[in-house]
Homo-oligomer: A and B are copies of this chain.
Amino acid sequence: MSPLTVTELAAWTGFLRLHQRLARELDAELEQAHGLSLGDYDVLTQLESADGHRLRMADLADAVLLTRSGLTRLVDRLQHRGLVERVKCSSDQRGMHAQLTEEGLARLHAARPTHLAGVRRGFLDELSQDETRALADLWARLGA
């Protein structure tokens, strides 16, 4: 396996470093301002955009890239705080829906400006429109 060129290395490690830095910054900011972790925010957002503000546990886990067990506990915490509730699935007795509550929606809306500002400040603001589109296309390609 031939070594990476300097440019390749920079393209890869820059990706890693930026993610680590940004994830920590934005998480801290959101936690401090609204008591939500990035994971909380991610789950809430997925639920908001889902039909009826509810999602099957497994689908939600896939959407936020957590294991099922990781999601179980994250939903536990959100439920305990009243931001989400569990609803039995009618068509499958094993299944559960995670359902956004009124309060969950409100908290999400309250937190959104903070988070969007952070994402812009740390990421989008540095990108031209062309670059933004190029990145979006690139991630789509890499996801397939």
By a beta-carbon cutoff of 8 Å, the part of chain A in contact with chain B is 1, 3-4, 7-8, 10-21, 24, 65, 112-113, 116-117, 119, 122-124, 126-127, 131-136, 138-143
Contacts and interface: CB of A to CB of B under 8 A. Distances in A.
Given A4-B116, A10-B139, A122-B142, 16 more contacts: A3-B116, A4-B119, A4-B124, A8-B132, A10-B135, A10-B136, A11-B123, A11-B124, A13-B139, A14-B136, A14-B138, A17-B65, A18-B139, A24-B65, A126-B141, A131-B134
A18 to B, nearest CB: 6
B21 A124 contact: no
A65 B19 CA distance: 10
A122 B16 CA distance: 13
A11 B142 CA distance: 12
A1 B112 contact: yes
A111 B48 CA distance: 43
20 contacts: A1-B113, A1-B117, A4-B116, A4-B119, A4-B124, A7-B132, A7-B136, A8-B132, A10-B139, A11-B124, A11-B133, A11-B136, A11-B139, A12-B123, A13-B139, A17-B143, A18-B142, A19-B19, A126-B142, A131-B134
